[in-house]
Structure 1
Amino acid sequence: MDASHSRSRVRRLLLPLTAGVCAIALVGGCSDADSTSRSAGESSPSGTVQGSASRVTNDLQDDYEAVIKDVLPSVVQIDASNSLGSGIVYDDKGHIVTNAHVVGSEKTFKVSVATGEKVFSASLVSSYPEQDLAVIKLDKVPDGLKAAKFGDSTKVEVGQIVMAMGSPLGLSSSVTQGIVSGLGRTVSEGRTGGGTGATIADMVQTSAAINPGNSGGALVNLNSEVIGIPTLAATDPQMGGSAAPGIGFAIPVSMVKTVADQIIKSGKVTDSGRAALNITGRTVVDSSYQPAGVALVSVTKGGAAEKAGLRAGDIITKVGGSAVTTITSLSEVLAGDKPGQKVTVTYTRSDAEKTAEVTLGEI
């Protein structure tokens, strides 16, 4: 797989309610020891440059403040009984889009606006763990409910300034800023701690600080458009699994709209657009106890794998030109493909290596 499909270690951005009160360390500002104040009558030879820089800074600050004022009222906090997360008002009918791992197995929720002044009840419409997305609906739509404006994934570019909005560590109405650091990332989340185990393609990588509680919130550009939903943060295994600063991932807005629109219209996802072999499998290891492939436990009758001649007991080692060593790596390879696409699957059967051309099915 190429660099854009890096197999990042990630953690979900969900905040357990048992976290209690958050302790925050405040760091005082620093001054430059060489800096001296000028008297009121002293002029600067670089005054024009400084004035231009000041105007640019003021313009950018004005942009930040305008976006926050515009978008933050559409970002809510979701209390899912045992955890806290965030959500985005999707339309004026009370639909809210969030992460599937935020709602978990719950059916009812308490939703508060970004400032935390009002609390509303909401019910689950449907959850789609395969893409870690879900839609809930307010039981009663309050006056003045404001839907967010959703952007265009094709216009998102590396280097764009973005802000992450949500309730990190239970601190509602929080905003951080950064840039789009990368596009087209494929990452997987674990199943422990309520995770969905989803492998998600085309994610937006950002340097904006995102923390537990940001899950389901908004990643926003300076046009006040939502371009993604913060979902995962990278962890550094060399630091004991601690968060890797400045590396977070958001589900792209194109996928958010695709899933949310189907759930709102049909009550479920009817066309996932996600490729599948239509199998269940498990990771196998070699004589050195290293992951060595995916053994097929079962194949769906009439599914993609069965039609291509694969059967239970076969061990998949490669799809196309990408090696397959684990269930996760198989999911990551397939995340970049589309239903109906033809791929060459390399597998072993009775210690003999074989290949099969498979027309991919759909999740």
Structure 2
Amino acid sequence: MDGSFHRAPARRPARHLLLPLVAGTCAVSLLSGCSDPAPPKSSASASASTSSGSSDGPRELEDDYQQVIKNVLPSVVQIDASEGLGSGVVYDDKGHVVTNAHVVGEEKEFKVTVATGGDPLAAKLVATYPEQDLAVIKLNKVPGGMKAARFGDSTKVEVGQIVLAMGSPLGLSSSVTQGIVSAVGRTVSEPRTGGGTGATIANMVQTSAAINPGNSGGALVDLDGSVIGIPTLAASDPQMGGGAAPGIGFAIPAAMVRTVADQIIKDGKVTDSGRAALGISGRTVLGDDFRPAGVAVASVEKGGPAAKAGLEPGDVLIGLDGKPVETINSLTEALASMKPGQQVKVEYQRDGAEKVAEVTLGEM
């Protein structure tokens, strides 16, 4: 099943992204929006209380929700760029706010509204990292009472875990929706058109919590009050005229958010992406049946991984470590799950003959 993604700040047109899915009969498009003291019980304990048969169960779960919202919502802000609205999460006590790269776009200055109210605050861009659709901005002046969010361990996120999405959908600041973690480890590709960054993002958290235009850059939070991801994509169904397909949203995992944000704050840029690269530029080629049949190598980075392995311009890549490569997107998605320094087998065609090269991946 093919899926496409839309990511759009409020008041911006939706941006369409592509995601290959394995089962199902309909195409789904996805759209993403831009428009602490005593922690509460964990989702596991909350679930246990509701299933115990106690009449207090639902009330205890409701109390957990309200406590998480009280603790985390003050750390979620609305970001006003000239072309639309998005959300952000306060990252530290120095006024740094993490958000999506597609929320900030090409802009350098912003107005930020905090959940506690008051006049909008001025902020400036620190740096953007479109390859992972993340960015950091910084408030010119940190208001009293603002607190940083607590980022959790996204590697421990489990399917079925209760989560809350916080942000400014459709410009409605300080909004909260709830759902569960539907899947983990998803890889999503977005286009470079319509404001998208063209990023391919691995290990995303899929959630049933409603993600609408304006939610992009906000917080996906567990019942311990920890941010486990940054909501980035929500689903729409192209067979229904692009209308919403409820219950399919995606968030960048907290581990990647921390990796990128820490480097941007320290060095003003990402110095260690952790993303694998072949060191080529290429384009999708069609076979005799006019269907995608591989990636033609247009150029090879001098001294890069592909060059060292003997790959040359004109070669057609057809497989990577046993996975078929039919398009430039499928190649990028395969690389997204790999690490620099990893050794892989690249299957390719040269002058009509199929060959295999051993490549030690470099870094993006």
Q: Same fold (TM over 0.5)?
A: yes
The answer for the alignment partner of 1:307 in structure 2 is: 308
In structure 1, what is the Cα distance between the partners aligned to 2:286 and 2:116?
Answer: 51
The answer for the alignment partner of 1:165 in structure 2 is: 166
Q: CA deviation at 1:53?
A: 4.5
Change (3 A) 1:316 1:121: same
Q: How does 1:1-363 map to 2 (within 5 A)?
A: 8-16=3-11, 53-114=54-115, 116-363=117-364
Change (3 A) 1:214 1:321: same
Among all aligned residue pairs of Structure 1 and Structure 2, give the percentage whose two residues are the same amino acid.
71
What letter is aligned with 1:167?
S
Partner SS, residue 88 of structure 1: strand
Describe the superposition over 1:105-127 as per-residue Cα deviations: whole angstroms up to 9, x where unpaired.
Answer: 11111111125533001111110
In structure 1, what is the Cα distance between the partners aligned to 2:295 and 2:61?
Answer: 51
Partner SS, residue 259 of structure 1: helix
Is the contact between residue 13 and residue 210 of structure 1 (CA under 8 Å) also seen in structure 2? Answer: no
Structure number, greater radius of gyration: 1
Change (3 A) 1:221 1:108: same
In structure 2, what is the Cα distance between the partners aligned to 1:239 and 1:104?
Answer: 29
Q: CA deviation at 1:18?
A: 8.4
Describe the superposition over 1:145-170 as per-residue Cα deviations: whole angstroms up to 9, x where unpaired.
Answer: 21111111122111110000000111
In structure 2, what is the Cα distance between the partners aligned to 1:327 and 1:51?
Answer: 51
TM-score with structure 1 length normalisation? 0.87
Is the contact between residue 13 and residue 214 of structure 1 (CA under 8 Å) also seen in structure 2? Answer: no
Describe the superposition over 1:180-230 as per-residue Cα deviations: whole angstroms up to 9, x where unpaired.
Answer: 111111111111211001110000000000011100000000111000000
In structure 2, what is the Cα distance between the partners aligned to 1:273 and 1:105?
Answer: 24
In structure 1, what is the Cα distance between the partners aligned to 2:279 and 2:13?
Answer: 39
In structure 2, what is the Cα distance between the partners aligned to 1:105 and 1:64?
Answer: 36
Count of equivalent residues: 329
What letter is aligned with 1:15?
A
The answer for the alignment partner of 1:23 in structure 2 is: none
Q: CA deviation at 1:291?
A: 1.0
In structure 1, what is the Cα distance between the partners aligned to 2:189 and 2:182?
Answer: 18
In structure 2, what is the Cα distance between the partners aligned to 1:221 and 1:51?
Answer: 21
What letter is aligned with 1:278?
G
In structure 2, what is the Cα distance between the partners aligned to 1:107 and 1:274?
Answer: 26
TM-score with structure 2 length normalisation? 0.87
Is the contact between residue 207 and residue 246 of structure 1 (CA under 8 Å) also seen in structure 2? Answer: yes
Partner SS, residue 339 of structure 1: coil
Describe the superposition over 1:276-324 as per-residue Cα deviations: whole angstroms up to 9, x where unpaired.
Answer: 1011111111122211111111111111111111111111111011111
What letter is aligned with 1:296?
V
Q: CA deviation at 1:15?
A: 1.8
Provide structure 1 residue ranges, at least 5 long, that are not aligned to the other structure.
Answer: 1-5, 20-48
Q: Considering only aligned residues, what root-mean-square deviation do their CA atoms show, in Å?
A: 1.9
Provide structure 2 residue ranges, at least 5 long, that are not aligned to the other structure.
Answer: 15-49
Q: CA deviation at 1:261?
A: 0.3
Q: CA deviation at 1:144?
A: 1.7
In structure 2, what is the Cα distance between the partners aligned to 1:143 and 1:251?
Answer: 29
Partner SS, residue 58 of structure 1: helix
The answer for the alignment partner of 1:29 in structure 2 is: none
What letter is aligned with 1:347?
Y
Change (3 A) 1:178 1:334: same
In structure 1, what is the Cα distance between the partners aligned to 2:94 and 2:2?
Answer: 38
What letter is aligned with 1:111?
V
